[in-house]
Amino acid sequence: MRQFDLSTSNILCYNLGMQIKYDQIQIEKFLNKYWPNDLFTLDWNNVLSNSKDPQLFAAFDGDKLIGIVAYNEGIDKTYANLINMEVINSYWCNDVREALLARVIQKSSDICSETYIQVNVKNGDSQFYEDNGGVLFGNRVIFFPSVSQEVIKKYLSR
Amino acid sequence: MDSINKAVDPTDISEVEQQLNIFKQVYATSATGSADFIQATQQDNELTYSNVPFRLFLLIAYNLDHEITVHDTAKLIVAGARHEDLSTVLPLDPETKVAIRFQEARVKSGLTEKEIAAKSVELDEYKLIKAEYARIPLSISTWAELFKIIGTKITIDLF
């Protein structure tokens, strides 16, 4: 039985109708212009400096940074590795997380001939990815190509 | 945590299993964006997929009758490092064993699923991908056609 996600249940979705923009952004520009940022809980400077060749997509509401996803190439370019994603809680109901995931999937088709996405997750942190079709193997969530295409179809235009 | 980045002999089952358990502990106890967590994921992926190709790992994990364990993963890594037949490492049904052999042979041949499907009388690309993950059963004659297309002969131990 799926657990009810208390973390999202009481979020007031006041951002409906906002024009959210998504951009691929250079790490240096991101750190210079948008970091540090009190709205985020992860230390993204730390995430990026510890990751091998990360790339970034960011989501903006106007000029305000509201979401970040980092990814890189997997071994032998057979998959793309989603390193981490964070979206300000009040934007979860705008499908910003889903839209960022869709952008990583689409971009990964440039890296790999077939679009496999892997996310290494902390114990119990896989719900969002599983809800979007990812399959959990231990601490890995995998998006198979057919599921990846569904995510793109559904969320890339957001 | 220095032990995350420790060099491991991938042919030594106890070393590999110990290292995978260290990664597992990090996943359970470290914060998602911490240096330990990120380094553990990178080292874990490197150790696993350098020895067991990503898609073969998925195929095997997907078709086990239980959730893949640290011990299972360690056995696969060691077998991969020793260039042993990965289809015989864990208890798998005959369909999955054939699918593993097919996937290995197809990758070696350099042919894509699309190219093989174009030459196949019986399967389109979508069905071929499913078959390659043992998600649909194929008759022996269909498997024979596919192996013939990639120019590989196989012997299958069903038991």
Distance CA B52, CA B32 (A): 25
Element (H, E) at A80: strand A80-87
Interface test with B, best of A73, A75, A130, A149 (most B CBs within 10 A): A75
Omega cis (within 30) before B91: no
Nearest to A110 by CA among A73, A142, A145: A73
Domain ranges of chain B: 2-54+66-88, 94-149
Interface test with A, best of B21, B34, B58 (most A CBs within 10 A): B58
State the greatest distance between any 2 C-alpha atoms of chain B, in Å, as a whole number: 55
Domain ranges of chain A: 10-155
- Tens of pLDDT, residues A104-152: 999 987 766 678 999 999 988 899 999 999 999 989 999 988 888 889 8
Q: Is B30 on the interface with A (CB under 8 A)?
A: yes
Distance CA B45, CA B54 (A): 9
Q: Please indicate whether residue A110 or residue B87 has the higher confidence score (pLDDT).
A: B87
Phi, psi of A10 (to 5 degrees): -105, 20
- Tens of pLDDT, residues A5-25: 444 444 556 666 678 999 999
Q: Rounded to 10 degrees, what is the CA torsion of A154, A136, B101, B95? A: -90
Global ipTM: 0.84
Q: Tokens representing B108?
A: 């070696």
A4, with CB counted inside 10 A (0-12, 13-18, 19+), is: exposed
Quick one: pLDDT at residue A13? Answer: 60
Instruction: Looking at A23-143, list the stretches that DSSP marks H as alpha helix, in order from N- to C-terminal side.
Output: 27-34, 44-49, 96-111, 127-131
Three-class DSSP category at A50: coil
Average pLDDT over residues B64-83: 96
Q: Residue A42 carries which DSSP code?
A: S
Distance CA B3, CA A154 (A): 42
Q: Tokens representing B75?
A: 């056995």
Question: Between chains, do A42 and B33 touch, taking CB under 8 Å as contact?
Answer: yes
Distance CA A134, CA B57 (A): 16
Quick one: pLDDT at residue A44? Answer: 96
Distance CA A111, CA B56 (A): 19
B136, with CB counted inside 10 A (0-12, 13-18, 19+), is: middle
State the greatest distance between any 2 C-alpha atoms of chain A, in Å, as a whole number: 44
For residue B83, is pLDDT > 60?
yes
Q: Which residues of B touch A47 (CB under 8 A)?
A: 33, 38
Lowest-confidence range among A3-12, A52-61, B138-147?
A: A3-12
CB A99 within 8 A of CB A87: no
Q: Tokens representing B87?
A: 């289809």
Q: A10-155: what CATH class? A: alpha beta
Q: Is B37 on the interface with A (CB under 8 A)?
A: yes
Quick one: pLDDT at residue A17? Answer: 65
Distance CA A147, CA A114 (A): 12
Quick one: pLDDT at residue B2? Answer: 62
Quick one: pLDDT at residue A4? Answer: 40
How does residue B153 score in pLDDT terms, banded at 50, 70 and 90?
confident
Instruction: For the domain made up of B94-149, give the CATH fold.
Output: 434 Repressor (Amino-terminal Domain) (1.10.260)
Q: Is B41 on the interface with A (CB under 8 A)?
A: yes
